[in-house]
Amino acid sequence: MTQNPAPATTTATEGNTPPATPWWRDAVIYQIYVRSFADSDGDGIGDLRGARRRLPYLAELGVDAVWLTPFYASPQADGGYDVADYRAVDPLFGGLQDADDLVREAHRLGLRVIVDIVPNHTSDRHAWFREALAEGPGGAARARYHFRPGRGADGELPPNDWESVFGGPAWTRTGGADGEWYLHLFAPEQPDLNWENPEVAAEFESILRFWLDLGVDGFRVDVAHGMVKAPGLPDIGRKEQAKLIGAQVLPFFDQDGVHAIHRSWRRLLDSYDGGRIGVAEAWAPTPERLALYVRPDELHQAFNFHFLTCPWDAAAMRAVIDESLASTGSVGAPATWVLSNHDVVRHTTRYGGGERGTRRARAAALLMLALPGSAYVYQGEELGLPEVVDLPDAVRQDPAFFRGDGQEGTRDGCRVPIPWEGAEAPYGFGPAGSWLPQPAEWRHLSVAAQSGDPRSTLELYRSALALRRRLPGLGDGPMSWHATGDGDAGVPEGVLAFSRPGFACTLNTLGIEVELTVPGRPVLATAPLEFTGGTVRLPAETCVWWEV
């Protein structure tokens, strides 16, 4: 058992009766992709002990919590998102004691800990699935998954036309004489659970309790939009279904039925003390549908992937921000901003790569951290790491890469172990080697190389996070846009400018500098500034924070 960090709320310092803000409404949460964060034992794979030793770095960086990607017993067909035993730590990452030690140490340092939970599917090595295969059609063990006879004269065709997110059909035929097929929205090693079966819900409730009792502060709910499938598993009627994810409701994604599960999980979380939370990984077609996951009796947060996928364009960014704030606000939830994670191309590269990508990424980070709500930082983004785009095929591990079929399989490029120090790989990641090769240029991007250099991206994040704690107008609370257009107070097209209490943020998205009326005293900028009288020249693709 571990103690939760106190206090469970942060107290606003402004006003006569300071309202207590639940910690998660404005928390900055750092995503640790465990296998690529820090390796303690020299097998080239990051682990829980490695992560624990590096926690002081995160406390000093100024984040409030960490989210750990799955470290459970797993054959690693999908980087641990194929769980064989939800109550055990995979020997690759350590043991249960290491998980306990990590949670304890994080709490000692004032950091909360969120763990990943994977309820949509198990591993094909999970005891339940093995039992289901052994048992044959019609039995209770198969009823925990989606088994169906095939179509065609001999059942040689899949039961419907659904495609796996990783490419190819979403169905695999069992080798047994019965020849049934089972559903897997992801890899064949990840059979989908049947959440209509009460045994499944009961088992997950027990798993959640197991980790809550150990002291974790919450769960990142993997594929929170996928657990319930449309009755009858109807055909979709078109190919390339992966392109529809997040664009429309599908018979396997964003079904209304998932919300009953999230409600029951919320009740469970609320029955524990210390502000335990659930954050949804939900690819919903619109901000309005995403907001359904964070209604007051559902999960606390949902990653805002509309912000993540937004192009570098002031009008588009402003529209996404407005829609997100309006939709989460309509249900009383905070917005949850995110620019990168272990499934997408790192944003320095998405924004064009090279110097320009870095400039934009730094500016986007200040924008994100100035917006109302909570924010997630993916390990290495604070170092400005780019996507590694030239990994040799021989080292790739992403199942999407192997399933081909027009899928890009780029997810290994954002999972390369991060550089800590030193002139040679693995740059302090561990005593020997790293499971994916690190580029030679990363010696200039290591934590040690950037520390103390005021122009570095690491110091930018450190300063931003320190200011976020110091300035009461940041985090949860109101924001208002400055008027756009010509005239004294108007900000030019291509510039985003907004105020929060005692604070202003200005972002020039354009490739040229613009002139602006000085809105206050600059406290942080992603590039050096020039002043002439009451105006400031805001360099291209630069964000500035002002104290007003």
Burial of 35 (0-12, 13-18, 19+ CB in 10 A): buried
CB of 282 to ligand GLC, least distance (A): 10
Tokens of 290: 């995403």
Measure the CA dihedral 39/47/275/86, to 10°: 170
Which parts of 197-226 interact with ligand GLC (CB under 6 A)? 222-223
Of the pair 45, 282, the CB lying nearest Mg ion is at 45
CB of 24 to ligand GLC, least distance (A): 20
| Active-site residue, from 281, 298, 412, 476 | 281
Interface with Mg ion (CB under 5 A), residue from 25, 32, 47, 166: 47
CB of 544 to ligand GLC, least distance (A): 33
Q: How far apart are the first and last CA of the chain?
A: 45
Which parts of 30-89 interact with ligand GLC (CB under 6 A)? 78, 81
How far apart are the C-alpha atoms of 548 and 545, rounded to whole Å? 10
Contact flag: residue 308 with ligand GLC (CB under 6 A): no
**Given CA atoms 285, 335, 326, 264 in this order, what sign does their dihedral have?**
positive
**Degrees (nearest 5) of the Cα angle 63, 467, 530?**
130
Of the pair 52, 342, the CB lying nearest ligand GLC is at 342
Respond yes or no: is residue 281 known to be catalytic.
yes
Among residues 429, 421, 340, the alpha carbon closest in space to that of 37 is found at: 429
Which parts of 334-353 interact with ligand GLC (CB under 6 A)? 342-343
Contact 485, 506 (CB under 8 A): no
Name the 3-class secondary structure at 32.
strand
Which parts of 239-298 interact with ligand GLC (CB under 6 A)? 281
CB of 23 to ligand GLC, least distance (A): 24
Burial of 162 (0-12, 13-18, 19+ CB in 10 A): buried
Q: Which helix (H) or strand (E) holds 349?
A: helix 347-350
Q: Which x/- pattern, by CB under 5 A, does the window 430-449 give for Mg ion?
A: --------------------
Respond yes or no: is residue 135 known to be catalytic.
no
How far apart are the C-alpha atoms of 248 and 366, rounded to whole Å? 31
45 binds, among Mg ion, ligand GLC, none (CB under 5 to 8 A by kind): Mg ion
Contact flag: residue 105 with Mg ion (CB under 5 A): no
Of the pair 289, 342, the CB lying nearest ligand GLC is at 342
| Active-site residue, from 26, 192, 222, 541 | 222
Of the pair 45, 465, the CB lying nearest ligand GLC is at 45
Residues in the chain, overall count: 548
Name the 3-class secondary structure at 101.
helix
Contact flag: residue 45 with Mg ion (CB under 5 A): yes
CB of 43 to Mg ion, least distance (A): 4
43 binds, among ligand GLC, Mg ion, none (CB under 5 to 8 A by kind): Mg ion
* Residues β-bridged to residue 389: none
Active site residues: 222, 281
What does the binding site for ligand GLC look like in residue numbers (CB under 6 A)? 78, 81, 118, 186, 222-223, 281, 342-343
